[in-house]
Structure 1
Amino acid sequence: MDLSDVEVSLDLFDVIRSRRSVRKFKDQSVGDEEVVKVLKAGVWAPSAGNLQSRDYVVVRDGEVKRELVKAAEQQFIFDAPVVIVVCANMERASEKYGDRGYNLYSIQDATAAVQNMLLTVHALGLGSCWIGAFDEERVSEVLGLPSGVRPVSMLPIGHPDVDPNPPKRYPLEKFVHEEKW
């Protein structure tokens, strides 16, 4: 199975505009096939030098999820049937790019994967939330991450039990600048 197996009935821009952070899930499992599709979406994200300096830890175990809840102080993580922890593989990025790869490109690679994964979660009719606020040391310890692999994001994934309203967005003019400010 490759990413072309994912059937999406929404236009890309509809998927982007309609994706929401979901923090409440139904008591319903998420299948391995869906998890693999989400992971493959992460694999296809762009990366510096195509080094793909990111790793994923899939968590379904209740005790491990309890520890992630403690590390993030966000109870809803436990209610998600699956949590994917996206990590920056700093060692892999530094092989080609030295300090810049270690400190920046690996983080960019991981976060590019997160966005692909969040959009895929939504296109599959599931929900998730990008969690970046957590105790990195504790998460690394709980997951047994090796040195040079840094947890960047947790994605609790499940069937949404809410339909959040769209958040307010600033006008485009606030973000776009001429080449000389």
Structure 2
Amino acid sequence: MTKDVIEAIEQRRSVRSFTSEEIPEATVGRLVEAALRAPSAGNLQPWKMVVVYNSEKRQALAAACHQQRFIAEAPVNIVVLLEKGKSADVYGQRGETYQYQDIGAAIENMLLAATGYGLGSCWVAAFDEDKVSQIIKAGGDLRPVAIIALGHSAEDPKPIPRRNPEDVVTVIH
């Protein structure tokens, strides 16, 4: 298990090929706990999560994700849902932005924790929202915004080039 957060950031990759090895529920629980530790505007935590182990449901989710088959291959999918209006009720129109920032922070915590546990993951946002809602029976004010495919990596993804700090940072003294 990686204990250094910088090391986890450097090692994290999007994985799209998984082994069939199961992940203990306790480990998945720790990943969800890591997500819940993310900062959120006003500590509103405008999220819910549905953990999917069921193979048929994972296959249905893969189909709803424009046939991204690796989603079904991953032994666990975590569907991250937005509680619509929760942030806007407090912050007005600006809350519309905050809620997505909050969910992004929660997801990144989960991805880094997965890396720390030696697991592979992939953040998926390309899907038919209505189909995903039907598959997991999300209703009311819940909107699926991401699916995290999670498992033991069957590949060794190479680092992807990133922009240089000099290209994106302006320093003002």
The AA in structure 2 aligned to 1:70 is A
1: distance between equivalents of 2:166 and 2:140? 42
In the comparison of the two structures, how many residue pairs are matched?
171
Please give the TM-score of this superposition, normalised by the length of structure 1: 0.89
Asked if 1:92 is matched to 2:86, the reply is yes
Displacement of 1:10 in angstroms is 3.6
Segments of structure 2 that go 5 or more residues without pairing to the other structure are none
Specify the alignment match of 1:27 in structure 2. 20
2: distance between equivalents of 1:139 and 1:178? 43
- 2:167 aligns with one of 158, 171, 174: 174
Matches within 5 A, 1:151-166: 151-166=144-159
Displacement of 1:178 in angstroms is 5.1
Displacement of 1:9 in angstroms is 3.6
- 2:105 aligns with one of 75, 99, 112: 112
Segments of structure 1 that go 5 or more residues without pairing to the other structure are 1-7
Displacement of 1:95 in angstroms is 2.9
Deviations 1:61-86 (A, max 9, x none): 11211211111120010011110011
How has the CA–CA distance of structure 1 residues 10 and 72 changed in structure 2, closer, same or farther, with 3 Å as cutoff? same
1: distance between equivalents of 2:154 and 2:55? 20
Displacement of 1:165 in angstroms is 0.6
Please give the TM-score of this superposition, normalised by the length of structure 2: 0.93
Specify the alignment match of 2:42 in structure 1. 49
The AA in structure 2 aligned to 1:159 is H
Specify the alignment match of 1:3 in structure 2. none
- 1:66 aligns with one of 59, 62, 65: 59
Contact 1:88/1:109 (CA < 8 Å) preserved in 2? no
SS of 1:109's equivalent? Answer: helix
Asked if 1:141 is matched to 2:134, the reply is yes
Moved over 3 A (4+): none
2: distance between equivalents of 1:177 and 1:137? 41
**Identical aligned pairs, as a percentage?**
40
- 2:73 aligns with one of 70, 74, 79: 79
